[in-house]
Amino acid sequence: MESFRNKQIHEELMRARNPVFISDERVDGDSLGSSLAMVDFLQTSGKPKPFVYVATQVPEIYKSMPFIDRCTQNIEIFSDPTIDLVVSFDCSDSEFIKRLIALIPNTPRVINIDHHKTNSLYGDINQVIVDASATSEVVYGFFESHHLPISKDAATCLFAGLCFDTSAFTNSATNDRALDIASKLILSGARIQDAIRMLFKNRSVAALRVWGLALERLHFHQDFDSVITCLTRKDIEENQVSEEEIEGLSNFLSLVTDTETIYVLRETSEQGVKVSMRSSTRDVSAIAKSNGGGGHEKAAGYTVKDAHLVCGDDRCWRIEKMIAK
């Protein structure tokens, strides 16, 4: 089935006159790496390079990725009636995609390429492989099944995606296939040090100081039956760090702690609390899904709207719903 769908995807991409790519709403190394590698494929096939729509600004750390100039936040691109194909990458949230497709005057075909367990298979073609370590691995499978040569640029993009989702081949998503593909990408000329630098060597002292606050607050929480920690808006704003700088805290903690499940709670700029979960034993995607979020079995998250964090007399942090005035 997987190779049949790769064949269908190839046909759709070759047939399309004006395709548009969409990266996951949360722009990260995998959603960018997988979509930009596919931009490379279209260019190599003699087709014009499509836009990659991104819902938020591309974080500074990804600016050196090949074809990053194809990324656009301009939602106006969807008003083009000639768009006949939409391809989403690493995006399990069907509502996000449906909202964008609704802006297109015609009805385009939709290809959904992903690896999230919570993906609702919203596409006309769904290449959703839940045991893939990254969407970049799924896209690698596309290249492989058509015996397509992988350029240095495409290899760099896919390697960055794999590296991001496996936390540089350390987390539980890392499997033999991920390592096998990584070695093939290196042989294809992937610039591995670029990917490592892009993903890890980018924390400012201010950001690490905020991580320090989170380290200090680690404690076992009865309600969650897990070790938790948290960051408030005050922590983030006083230290003047961006959201992207604190991303990665939950991955880091799950890598270095001896606890099985960890929750990182963080107040968002939209008066909510974002809950990031990592576990080596529980299916946290089910918890995320039942709270309106999504993710993978071992790494998932959700946001509690209209809520904030409060520290109790017992020095335990809790999520408190805000009462409408």
**Number of chain residues interacting with Mn ion (CB under 5 A):** 5
Identify the bridge partners of residue 20 per DSSP, sorted by sequence position: 86
Smallest gap from Cβ 271 to Mn ion, in A, equals 27
Of 39-47, 82-90, 103-111, 251-259, the segment contacting Mn ion by CB under 5 A is 82-90
Contact between 30 and Mn ion by CB under 5 A: the answer reads yes
Between the CA of residue 322 and those of 224, 304, 307, 319, what are the distances in Å? 20, 10, 5, 9
Contact between 93 and Mn ion by CB under 5 A: the answer reads no
Contact between 90 and Mn ion by CB under 5 A: the answer reads yes
Task: Please say which residue, 134 or 157, places its beta carbon nearer to Mn ion.
Answer: 134
Q: Which amino acid is at 216?
A: E
Task: Please say which residue, 187 or 255, places its beta carbon nearer to Mn ion.
Answer: 255
Distance separating alpha carbons of residues 187 and 184, to the nearest angstrom: 5
Total H helices, total E strands in the chain: 12, 14
Distance separating alpha carbons of residues 198 and 295, to the nearest angstrom: 23
Task: Please say which residue, 84 or 165, places its beta carbon nearer to Mn ion.
Answer: 165
Distance separating alpha carbons of residues 37 and 35, to the nearest angstrom: 5
Of 72-80, 121-129, 134-142, 273-281, the segment contacting Mn ion by CB under 5 A is 134-142
- DSSP classification of residue 55: S
CB 261 within 8 A of CB 282: yes
Smallest gap from Cβ 114 to Mn ion, in A, equals 8
Identify the bridge partners of residue 267 per DSSP, sorted by sequence position: 273
Contact between 153 and Mn ion by CB under 5 A: the answer reads no
How, if at all, do strands 71-72 and 125-128 pair? unpaired
Output the residue with the shortest Cβ distance to Mn ion.
30
Contact between 114 and Mn ion by CB under 5 A: the answer reads no
Of 90-98, 174-182, 249-257, 258-266, the segment contacting Mn ion by CB under 5 A is 90-98
Binder of Mn ion out of 165, 235, 245, 297 (CB under 5 A): 165
- List residues near Mn ion by CB under 5 A: 30, 90, 134-135, 165
